[in-house]
Structures are given as C-alpha cells and as structure tokens.
Amino acid sequence: MKKAELVFIPSPGIGHLVSTIEIAKLLVERDDRLSITVLVIKLPNDSKTTAYTEAVVASSSITKRIKFINLPDVHNTVAEVSNIALFFHLVIEAQKQQVQEAVQKLILHNNSDPDSPRLAGFVIDMFCTTMIDIANEFDVPTYMFYTSSAGYLGMSFHLQTLYEEHNIDTTELNVPNTEFKLPYFVNPVPAKVLPSVILFDKEGATAVRNFTRRFKETKGIIVNTFTELESYAGHSFFDTNPTLYPVGPIMNLKGDTQVGSGGTQQRNDIIKWLDEQPLSSVVFLCFGSMGSFNEDQVKEIAYALEKSGVRFLWSLRQAPPKGKVAFPSDYSKPQEVLPDGFLERTAEIGKVIGWAPQVEILAHKATGGFVSHCGWNSTLESIYFGVPIATWPVYAEQQFNAFELVKELGLAVEIRMDYNRDFYSESEMFVNAEQIERGIRCVMEQDSDIRKRVKEMSEKSRKALMDGGSSYSFLDRLIDDIMNNMS
C-alpha cells in the first residue's frame, strides 16, 4: 500500500495550531494511508504551545500517525515590530533553515525502510507561504489551509489582481468613497469593511501582499467553509485555480482550545445557570480572544441590556493597558466598570462572566442569540448550532465577515459592520445603547426570517460533514489529489 506523509507548518500561536490539529485529525481519520508531522514554530516566550501539543499527544485523542516536532527558538533576533503581518513574516522567515533540516531528517530516516510513508507535500497556512521554497527544494507540492471565509479569500485575490494589474494600492484608496465589485457577490463591498492593516499601514499591506501573492503557487487551498454557506453564483467561485477544497465547518467541539483559562468550576457555574433558563431566551455576548472595550462602552452595553430586559450571558473582558499589545483579561471586580447597582438589578435575568466556554454556550438550548465579533470560527460555530448573530466586529477581517453575513447571506443582524479604530474617531466608534438594544431585540426575535435561515444553514452544515455531504466529498477529493500528485 502506498503511504503518504504530509508536513504541516502552521503559523506560530496557539489558535493556528489548534485549527491545524483539527484538519490533521480529519485527514488521518479519513484515510489510514496518511500520516502527518506538524512542525511547530513558537512565538517568543510562548509556553502554551508545547504544553498544548504535549496534552494533545497524552490525551490519546490523536493517533500515532500525527506527530509534533518543536522547532528550536530562533526569533530572539526578531526585533520588536509594530504590525502583526510583518511580525509573522520575520518570525517565520527565520525558521526556513530549520524546517529544511527537520524535513531532511524525516526523509533520511525513511529511505532505509521501503514500507515507510513517502513525503507527499507541505500543508501551510496563510502566513507561511515562504515555506513553498522549501517544499520546492524537496520537489513536493504545497497545499494551504485557509482559516477565514471563502468570501474573504476571493476578496484577497481580487485586491492582489488590482495591485498587480492596475497598480491599485489599498493604502492609497479614498476609503469613504471606494467600493469593490466582486464577481461573486451581489452587493459591492465598501472599502471601509476591509482590515485596517491593508488600508492604513504601508508596511503591513506590503507584508500581506507578499503572503497573498504566493497563494497561487499552491496546488490547492483547503478552506474552512462549506459550499452551501458560500455558494455564490452557482458554485463557480469554487472552480478556480488553485483548486479550493471547502471541507468545513472544522471546529474544536470539545472546547479544549481554551487551555489555561477558565477552569471547570467557572464552566460548571455557567452551564448550571444556563440550564435554569427557558428555551432560546438568552443572548450571549462575547467578542473573541482580542475583544474588549473602554469603560464608557461597557456601560453603554449594560444600559442596553437592562433596557431590553432580555436574559443575558455577557463575557466581559478588560482591555490591556493602553499602548500594550496583550490579550484582554478578566476583571477582578466587574462592578467597578458597570453602572451602579447593575449587577443587583439584573441578578434575576443576567450573568456577567469573564472567560467563556463558547462552544458549550452556543450549543446550549437556552442560548437564543449571539452578539459577536464575527471571527470566522465563532461565525461557523454559531451557524452550526443555529444561533443567529448580531454583528459587532472588532479587528482583522471581522468587518468583512459581518458584511458578508448581513448583506450577502442574510444570516445576521447588524449592530455595527464598519467598526474600525483607524478610520473613525473615538466618538464615531462609540455604539450607543439604543443601537445595541435594537440589535439585541432583533436577534432575539423568535420567528424572524433570519433565525429561520440560520436554522436551515445549521442543518446544511451538519449534512455537509456527513458521508455523501459536500465537505465530506471534498475531503475525499483532496486526499485523492494528494495521492495522485505524489511523484
């Protein structure tokens, strides 16, 4: 039997690693000819990553056909840089030699044994395109695992073409007056829903272009979506070059992503509270691992919740100190930022929490709506569990996701869409209580068309993953192509 080994190289950071492990599991579970080695690049001072891979290996939730190699730290040489795209570029670039050596070792080891798997290709993610060079040295194809939407992938290709063929630079756009006509979107896309980094940061935009330019050199792009969700213009979007393989939604339903935060006590407390609430009665507010607001905005959310009278579960996170790049944390005394007496007055209907076991909350029958930052994972989880979203994007491509959900797909209610710190002033960014309250009431409406559509899409997402479903079939096609492309 012909056996194939894939080398996975995710971008540094626990989030990327987690998604990578999910797709790796899916592949080896589907086909026992496949084995996978994940080369793990750590962030500076990153202790979580190794702990996580060790926990995964120990948990036996994973077969022996998935292995991890931790690449040695070399980024002490990486100077502090301001934007994330450039930072990834430098950290990853610094690892090329080590990737080359690690793969060389893998191959040498195997030459002695004719039954061992042959190297079949690299699977990289969107920031690791420079590793295509190494795959080429070994004369194997590169595939990409893309963790955002197909819609945004198309947008990226479109912007790249505008740059290469028409010299249009996103950092020189007249943002308020620019729209993009994508061939597969019904609505023109306003520039102001694009990520800040490509609109306002020359160096960041160059770094992003450098990554995107090379997407086309891959043999195929595995996308975390499913055709029924993003089936613009009769699927034609999926017939592109490189081949797209929509195999999602890929989610970590066991929720072991949130290593280190929360804890069972907190989790049990939250689920117990939800168990006591009526069916589909609770609105859940959560803004992702990087989402937090200033105190005025926190108060405004509180006023909106109180005024709406809707039951709520609110993951309230404290912003890191100004000017510091760090994750939000839990408040030790949330009452200090909330309006006076808020917790007492809402004790019967609401619960303010810090870290949230999001998947379990979305899966709970009491949860009826989700005020979300629209990160693509959260979006997929929400759709999978049939919970409609009220959009409040915060960073990265979340504004685009919100636009796609509200305007193109009719699967979400708008609170904000074009929420951007680099574009609007602080006062323009402020979302007032009426606007929030309207969004909450609307998303909680029990027999709305949006809720109906989300429920339908939820069913389609489950079918897509089952034998005979679209994502299931695309995964088979991917494996066939990997085996056939082996030299």
Ligand X SMILES: *[C@@H]1O[C@H](CO)[C@@H](O)[C@H](O)[C@H]1NC(C)=O
Name which position in 8, 12, 19, 359 contacts ligand X (CB under 6 A): 19
| 44 binding ligand X? (CB under 6 A) | yes
| 15 binding ligand X? (CB under 6 A) | yes
| 203 binding ligand X? (CB under 6 A) | yes
CB of 93 to ligand X, least distance (A): 8
What span, in angstroms and rounded, lies between the C-alpha atoms of 200 and 175? Answer: 10
| Catalytic annotation present for 125 | yes
Measured from the CB atom, is 402 or 444 closer to ligand X?
402
Nearest CA among 144, 101, 91 for reference residue 121: 144
Name which position in 257, 277, 358, 382 contacts ligand X (CB under 6 A): 257
Among 108-116, 165-173, 296-304, 357-365, the segment contacting ligand X (CB under 6 A): 108-116
CB of 418 to ligand X, least distance (A): 19
| 469 binding ligand X? (CB under 6 A) | no
| 339 binding ligand X? (CB under 6 A) | no
Among 214-222, 345-353, 375-383, 474-482, the segment contacting ligand X (CB under 6 A): 375-383
Q: Which of 31, 75, 125, 201 is catalytic?
A: 125
Q: The tokens 């086909």 sit on which residue?
A: 31
Measured from the CB atom, is 5 or 306 closer to ligand X?
5
Name which position in 5, 31, 300, 437 contacts ligand X (CB under 6 A): 5
According to DSSP, residue 43 is labeled P
According to DSSP, residue 338 is labeled S
Name which position in 128, 182, 207, 475 contacts ligand X (CB under 6 A): 207
| 227 binding ligand X? (CB under 6 A) | no
| 337 binding ligand X? (CB under 6 A) | no
What span, in angstroms and rounded, lies between the C-alpha atoms of 443 and 441? Answer: 6
Identify whether the C-beta of residue 393 lies closer than 8 Å to the C-beta of residue 188.
Answer: no
Those residues with Cβ within 8 angstroms of residue 283's Cβ, 6 or more apart along the chain or in another chain? 305, 310, 311, 312, 313, 368, 369, 370, 371, 390, 440, 443, 444
Residue 452 neighbours by CB distance under 10 Å: 12
| 110 binding ligand X? (CB under 6 A) | yes
| 210 binding ligand X? (CB under 6 A) | yes
Measured from the CB atom, is 302 or 359 closer to ligand X?
359
Among 112-120, 137-145, 276-284, 298-306, the segment contacting ligand X (CB under 6 A): 112-120
Number of residues that bind ligand X (CB under 6 A): 29
Identify whether the C-beta of residue 45 lies closer than 8 Å to the C-beta of residue 78.
Answer: no
CB of 116 to ligand X, least distance (A): 4
| 117 binding ligand X? (CB under 6 A) | yes
CA distances from 404 to 187, 412, 424 (A): 9, 9, 21
| 399 binding ligand X? (CB under 6 A) | no
Burial class (CB in 10 A: 0-12, 13-18, 19+), 349: middle
Measured from the CB atom, is 222 or 436 closer to ligand X?
222
Among 113-121, 172-180, 215-223, 266-274, the segment contacting ligand X (CB under 6 A): 113-121
CB of 250 to ligand X, least distance (A): 8
CB of 60 to ligand X, least distance (A): 17
State both tokens at 359. 């998947």
Return contacts of 332-340, CB within 8 angstroms, 24+ apart. Answer: 337/295, 337/298, 337/299, 338/298, 338/299, 338/302, 339/299, 339/302, 339/303, 339/306
| Catalytic annotation present for 166 | no
| 349 binding ligand X? (CB under 6 A) | no
| 261 binding ligand X? (CB under 6 A) | no
Among 199-207, 239-247, 418-426, 472-480, the segment contacting ligand X (CB under 6 A): 199-207
What span, in angstroms and rounded, lies between the C-alpha atoms of 413 and 397? Answer: 18
Hey, is 24 helix, strand or coil?
helix
Measured from the CB atom, is 97 or 446 closer to ligand X?
97
Identify whether the C-beta of residue 126 lies closer than 8 Å to the C-beta of residue 147.
Answer: yes
Name which position in 8, 9, 12, 18 contacts ligand X (CB under 6 A): 18
Q: The tokens 């306002």 sit on which residue?
A: 200
| 358 binding ligand X? (CB under 6 A) | no
Q: What does the angle CA 175 – CA 395 – CA 367 come to, to the nearest 5 degrees?
A: 125
| 106 binding ligand X? (CB under 6 A) | yes
CA distances from 459 to 148, 375, 452, 456 (A): 21, 21, 11, 5
DSSP 381-410: HHHHTT--EEE---STTHHHHHHIIIIIS-
Alpha-helical segments (H) within 66-219 = 84-93, 96-111, 132-137, 150-166, 196-200, 202-213
Report which residue type is found at 129.
T
| 49 binding ligand X? (CB under 6 A) | no
Name which position in 119, 134, 197, 302 contacts ligand X (CB under 6 A): 119
Name which position in 63, 70, 98, 116 contacts ligand X (CB under 6 A): 116
| 151 binding ligand X? (CB under 6 A) | no
Those residues with Cβ within 8 angstroms of residue 223's Cβ, 6 or more apart along the chain or in another chain? 146, 149, 150, 153, 244, 245, 246, 247, 248
Q: Which residues are catalytic?
A: 16, 125
Residues within the interface to ligand X (CB under 6 A): 5, 15-16, 18-19, 35, 44-45, 86, 89, 106-107, 109-110, 116-119, 147-148, 203, 206-207, 210, 252, 257, 375-377
